[in-house]
Structure 1
Amino acid sequence: MGSVPKTTMKAQQYDARDNKLHLNEVPIPEPQEHEVLVKVACASLCHSDVMLFEPNDQGLILGKNPVTIGHEATGTVVKTGSGPIASKFKEGDDVGFLCAVECCFDCYSCKNVHNAWCETGKTKMQGFTLDGYFQEYVCVDARATMVLPEGIDVKTAAPLFCAGVTAYHGVEDCQLKPGQWMAIVGCGGLGHLGVQYAKAMGFKVIGLDIADQALEEAKNCGADHVFNSMTDKDWKSKVVEITGGGVDAAVNFTASKKSYDDCPAIIKPGSGLLMVVGIPRQPLELNALDIALGRYKVKGSNNGTCYNMRPAIEFSAKHNIKPHLTTYELEELPKMIEIMNSHKAQGRMGVVFN
């Protein structure tokens, strides 16, 4: 089913030999029986993509080299594999998808934890161990793909299929009640969506960041208070005062170890939660006595499987939650990475394909 009018495409590929991006011409892949071939409409940049260029000890593994980067995108089906799940999609369907492939999708870990821990041990991640989405066409696993609901625009919705699912579950998994206080730590690409989800769930929100433009975005998304934790020396005491003793949950979307070190001071003692979402280069350091004596709890969020993708996307459609997306050409991806590294990005940055 379906046809593609050419045999090669442009792809932004990371090459570990020189630690740089290269705009290459590569073959357009053919879908296997369990896959659909998608013409990418929008691919957006996530901080995890940038970690390819950095030394890290958090388990980020490069597979093929060079590899097309990018792991959040939306697009339109142009061809399907012959399998029963793939054949449920049809040419012209606007879809979103997640990046885990070659896992079973059926074991306990795939269904309840994360595809990364699939019992087969064969999981690969598109954008890292296999080609990702900063290219014109991509084959994705039909089991991790969904047709976009009404109200979700294929040209702008790419960030929902990593940042959105991650932010939604990072907020929801705190299990707060309406009216309780939540700190969104890091109000950029993930956090500006986290603020929207938190407000839609009825929480009172404090936005924290070191970039004023990110804090401005947080206010635009509905944050009740915002603080620059770099320029306001009294931000911790102000948060504790506003919240009457500390936030009920602090959801950390940043890759800053210092931001994690700062979180316990603003969490309500005895009942508060630190939700770990962002991944710093260095391992986190937690005070064992704090945890043992119940000063606060620590939790992670299952932030992206085919089983929890749909609730996040449907909630986004129902509550009109949209990413702030600044668009660029594929050739400008190095510029996007430079902007992200300089902390000058507001919302999410993405490539929109013609």
Structure 2
Amino acid sequence: MGSMPEKKTMRAQQYDARDNKLHLNEIPIPTPREHEILVKMGSASLCHTDAMLFEPNDQGLILGKNPVTIGHEGTGRVVSTGSGDLARTFKEGDPVGFLCAVDCCFQCYACKNVHNAWCATGETKIQGFSADGYFAEYAVVDAREAIILPENLDPKASAPLFCAGVTAYHGIADCQLPAGSWLAVIGCGGLGHMGIQYAKAMGHNVIAIDITDDAIEEARICGADYTFNSMADKDWKKKIVELTKGGVHAAVNFTASKKSYDDCPAIVKAGQGIIMVVGIPQQPLEFNGLDIALGRYQVKGSSNGTCYNMREAVEFSAKHNITPHMTTFKLEEVPKMVELMNAHKAKGRMGVVFD
């Protein structure tokens, strides 16, 4: 059960831009504002976007404070709440999961229909980047971004659902394809291994593509119908077109590889195919204007989660017993997790489970 801490400080893994490294710091336990809840963290997991803090990028990551506690995927139990009516609907001990946008209005068109990042106020902060995140013993979260977990979801194991899960679910669902369609899941790691499970639960035929044998094996475990190692098989694109009789109906790209995006047009069905952008490479993406103008394929994006589409994904996960495959570490081992992710040596998701 969650309970108020007796101590006043906590351990937190904080990124410091001055030396581009993580430091395990002792910092004050935060106090929830009126609209917030204080959570004793049960689990926090690493997303590739977290690792992008350490590398140059021109894709819009903003560091709003320094040092900053990293991590934007988390679950835990409520220990206290702010004084607001919504915050007080949560009770001590409630198992909760939550998303990471704070200081936005949640009411404008962008917040309700697109993403909180484009809130009309221009004040949005993202925990783990421009506000403190979840690789800490406690965290405050906006009550509007939190839900009580379904009974079969464990707060010590469900953190990846609250970025990877919501993102992967909508990466598949937002293609809006009928059951029986052919989907290529590109990248079978922390996001892709969940995307495969969602696609199969929705009744699709799934082709999984990755560059490592470990990821390919993970894809098979998750139910992929066919798998291709694009580094080992030079004819993989031709084989996919033949297998699907013209190409997949959607190529859902969960990777941060620009080359993998460059390869997508060759495997989508002409006139019917969708290239779904989920993963974010360091470099800008390039698509042929004539291809798009003549309808060879569509390029779409999928929201990585708002409080308005989170519940659908989490409840679907609980109903279909879709769970993240998470390798667990201690809080002091977060730098090791980053190293493993950058070396493509991680299977599924990596996360910290707190006592």
Partner of 1:142: 143
Partner of 1:346: 347
C-alpha distance in structure 2 between counterparts of 1:256 and 1:95, whole Å: 33
Partner of 2:112: 111
Partner of 2:263: 262
C-alpha distance in structure 2 between counterparts of 1:239 and 1:221, whole Å: 19
Partner of 1:235: 236
Partner of 1:174: 175
2:310 is aligned with what amino acid? Answer: M
Aligned-partner SS, 1:25: strand
| TM-score under structure 1 length normalisation | 0.99
Q: Report the alpha carbon displacement of residue 120 of structure 1 after superposing the two structures with TM.
A: 0.5
1:245 is aligned with what amino acid? Answer: G
The Cα offsets for residues 190-217 of structure 1, whole Å up to 9 and x where unpaired, read as: 0000000000000000000001111111
Q: Report the alpha carbon displacement of residue 303 of structure 1 after superposing the two structures with TM.
A: 2.0
Partner of 1:204: 205
Partner of 1:157: 158
The Cα offsets for residues 237-288 of structure 1, whole Å up to 9 and x where unpaired, read as: 1111111110000000000000000000000000100000000000001100
Q: CA, structure 1 residues 2+81, in 2 after alignment: closer, same or farther (shift >3 Å)?
A: farther
1:284 is aligned with what amino acid? Answer: L
Partner of 2:335: 334
Partner of 1:123: 124
Partner of 1:29: 30
Partner of 2:63: 62
Partner of 2:225: 224
Aligned-partner SS, 1:32: coil
**Residue pair 1:2, 1:80 contacting (<8 A) in 2 also:** no
Aligned-partner SS, 1:155: coil
C-alpha distance in structure 2 between counterparts of 1:248 and 1:212, whole Å: 25
1:134 is aligned with what amino acid? Answer: F
Q: Percent identity at matched positions?
A: 74
Q: Report the alpha carbon displacement of residue 231 of structure 1 after superposing the two structures with TM.
A: 1.1
Partner of 2:12: 11
Structure 2 counterparts to residues 262-281 of structure 1, below 5 A:
262-281=263-282
Aligned-partner SS, 2:295: coil
1:196 is aligned with what amino acid? Answer: Q
Aligned-partner SS, 1:105: coil
| Structure 2: gaps of 5 or more residues | none
C-alpha distance in structure 2 between counterparts of 1:133 and 1:60, whole Å: 17
Partner of 2:323: 322
1:155 is aligned with what amino acid? Answer: K
**Residue pair 1:14, 1:20 contacting (<8 A) in 2 also:** yes
The Cα offsets for residues 90-146 of structure 1, whole Å up to 9 and x where unpaired, read as: 000000000000000011110000000001000000000011000000000000000
**Residue pair 2:97, 2:159 contacting (<8 A) in 1 also:** yes
The Cα offsets for residues 293-323 of structure 1, whole Å up to 9 and x where unpaired, read as: 1110110012210000000000000000000
C-alpha distance in structure 1 between counterparts of 2:3 and 2:122, whole Å: 33
Aligned-partner SS, 1:263: helix
1:54 is aligned with what amino acid? Answer: E
Moved over 3 A (4+): none
Aligned-partner SS, 1:307: coil
1:125 is aligned with what amino acid? Answer: I
**Residue pair 2:3, 2:93 contacting (<8 A) in 1 also:** no
Partner of 1:90: 91
1:132 is aligned with what amino acid? Answer: G
The Cα offsets for residues 125-181 of structure 1, whole Å up to 9 and x where unpaired, read as: 000001100000000000000000121111110000000000000000001111110
Q: Report the alpha carbon displacement of residue 3 of structure 1 after superposing the two structures with TM.
A: 2.5
**Residue pair 1:178, 1:202 contacting (<8 A) in 2 also:** yes
C-alpha distance in structure 2 between counterparts of 1:296 and 1:328, whole Å: 42
| TM-score under structure 2 length normalisation | 0.99
C-alpha distance in structure 1 between counterparts of 2:242 and 2:313, whole Å: 32
Aligned-partner SS, 2:218: helix
Aligned residues: 354
The Cα offsets for residues 48-100 of structure 1, whole Å up to 9 and x where unpaired, read as: 00000000000101011000000000000000001010000000000000000
Aligned-partner SS, 2:309: helix
C-alpha distance in structure 2 between counterparts of 1:2 and 1:206, whole Å: 46
Partner of 1:193: 194
Aligned-partner SS, 2:161: helix
